[in-house]
Structure 1
Amino acid sequence: MASIQYLGHHSCGGILIREDFVLTAAHYFFFHNRGPCTVVLGAHDISKKEKSQQHIEVAKYYPHPKYNGTLNYDIMLLKLKKKATLKNHVKTIRIPKKNGKTPANIECLVAGWGLTKVNGSCSNVLKEAREKIQFGTECSHIWKHHFRSDHMICTKFTKKSGGVCQGDSGGPLICNKMPQGITAFTFASNCNDPKYPHVFTKVNFFIPWIESVRVGGNRRIQ
């Protein structure tokens, strides 16, 4: 799990998929000041300087070439200036090898340092919750044209258990120990409203693009 920080403040989450690459959402890069960006790995409480933490500057930014500031293709890779040191608190996570469907009703894990309640503040400590994969037809019915079933998946949750919110973008949706989604968007005025499924960028749809970037075959923004 990674905290992506601008000027020392947490902006969004991400996951370490190789010692020198972090996978995250593109919209924070698009809408925020492109100032110095640092990836913090091995953190539990981001308000403290924990011995387990590794702070590594971002060398290159790779938003998906089709991302234009809308909800579609909301995915980005960050190339780190140096490789992370893999140890107990810092490990890479394996991503799916091919595109495929994630069955509905599977329970998955979400995590991040985002808001813990509506109109609240971001959490200093890493939080996690469980959400279940929702049927794509239900997501399309509720989110209309905003939901694209080919490269998005969505989840259902309860108001009691909660889930992702602002500040959790870019963090993972982990199903069967593998990241199937990257947190993309929620209902803007109330992320904890169960009527509106949480939406994630579908990782396995983007495997060819991810591999092309990791071998240096894609454009970059510096």
Structure 2
Amino acid sequence: MVLYSFLLLLGVSLAGGMESGIIGGKEAKRHSRPYMASIQTDKSHTCGGMLIREDYVLTAAHCLNNNVYSDQNLIEVVLGAHNINKMENNQQRIPVMKYIKHPKSERNNKKDYSFDIMLLKLKDKAKLNKFVNVMRLPKKIKKTRPNVKCSIAGWGSKSPKGVQASDVLQEVKLKLQENSKCKEMWQQYFNSETMICSVSDGKHAFCKGDSGSPLICNTIPQGIASYTFDGNCTNTKYPQVYVKISYFLPWIKKTIG
């Protein structure tokens, strides 16, 4: 089955593909998204994330592959950045003390992207200011509506092989897709209860390195970038998929206390 073969590749190259991380977007206004986090291993950007408390960052579970990043002391979060390849005065680089994947993100040694969500406990609290600030989560579980305009930002890769991250934060506007359309295309790999997806117009998309970044709709974070069609982020047939943040509110609140 063609779809199944593509899903097998997701674990290797999630959100992988085209010439830049954010497709069809533009450079974000400097520090207009003070909640954005660059998750780095050995000083290299791997995923996006969102500061939800002074000591916690929310991201995607697949961003931490235990087979590759077994030493969590190598994992750091960079806050307050615009250009992640410059030593900007407002940047805060904080080591990750503990990573907490959703308990259902892996079952029987297999990833379940229906629960592709993770919390990173920071070693030190972030110092909040105009460059670094927390993003408020949705207050309750709410059904998302199709065609709502949203946006996502990230430092995703600039090369087809995903070797180099974008220097500066990029952003793009996207529209939510009907869950029924997502389910129709992704079949059993899309869980309508825990996931949402965006319209695949072939021009606007997130790509490799943008996984874990928040999808913002009407100033509220609704999703976390999870996966897209492997090898072609702007594929017009398969919608891009996010885990639905509001569904995981009870788990998040219980975990961070």
**TM-score, with length taken from structure 1:** 0.93
Shift of the alpha carbon at 1:92? 0.4
The aligned counterpart of 1:62 is 100
The yes-or-no answer on 1:128 pairing with 2:171 is yes
Is residue 34 of structure 1 aligned with residue 63 of structure 2?
Answer: no
Deviation at 1:136, TM superposition (A): 0.3
Answering whether residue 203 of structure 2 is matched by residue 155 of structure 1, we say: no
Partner in structure 2 of residue 11 of structure 1: 46
Which AA in structure 2 matches 1:8?
K
**Where in structure 2 are there 5+ consecutive unaligned residues?**
1-35
- What is the deviation of 1:6? 0.5
Matched-pair contact (CA < 8 Å) for 1:152–1:199: yes
- From 109, 134, 137, the counterpart of 2:180: 137
Q: Distance in 2 between matches of 1:101 and 1:117?
A: 36
Higher deviation after alignment, 121-130 or 72-81: 121-130
The CA deviation at 1:113 is 0.6
Distance 1:117 1:196, change over 3 A: farther
Secondary structure at the aligned position of 1:38 is classed as strand
Q: Would you say the 8 A contact 1:173–1:181 is kept in 2? A: yes
When the two chains are superposed, the root-mean-square deviation of aligned CA atoms in Å is 1.3
Residue 176 of structure 1 corresponds to which residue in structure 2?
218
1:72 aligned counterpart, secondary structure? helix
User: SS of 1:144's equivalent?
Assistant: helix
Matches within 5 A, 1:177-216: 177-215=219-257
> 1:118, CA displacement in angstroms?
4.3
Please say if residues 60 and 78 of structure 1, whose CA atoms lie closer than 8 Å, have aligned partners that are also in contact. Answer: yes
Q: 3-state SS of the aligned residue for 1:163?
A: coil
Contact 2:104 2:112 in 1 (8 A): no
Equivalence for 2:91: 53
Distance 1:3 1:182 in 2: 14
* Paired amino acid for 2:69: N
Larger RCO of the pair (alpha carbons < 8 Å, separation 6+): 2
Matched length: 214
SS in structure 1 at match of 2:65: helix
Deviation at 1:194, TM superposition (A): 2.2
2:200–2:238: 8 Å Cα contact kept in structure 1? no
State the partner residue of 1:106: 148
- Contact 1:19–1:83 at 8 Å: present in 2 too? yes
Q: Please list the CA deviations of residues 115-154 of structure 1 after superposition, one character each: whole Å capped at 9, or x if unmatched.
A: 3564464211110001101000000011111100000000
User: Which residue of structure 1 lines up, in the alignment, with residue 127 of structure 2?
Assistant: 85
Q: List runs of 5+ in structure 1 lacking aligned partners.
A: 216-222
Q: Is the contact made by 1:15 and 1:23 (CA closer than 8 Å) also made in structure 2?
A: yes
Distance in 2 of aligned mates of 1:130 and 1:194: 16
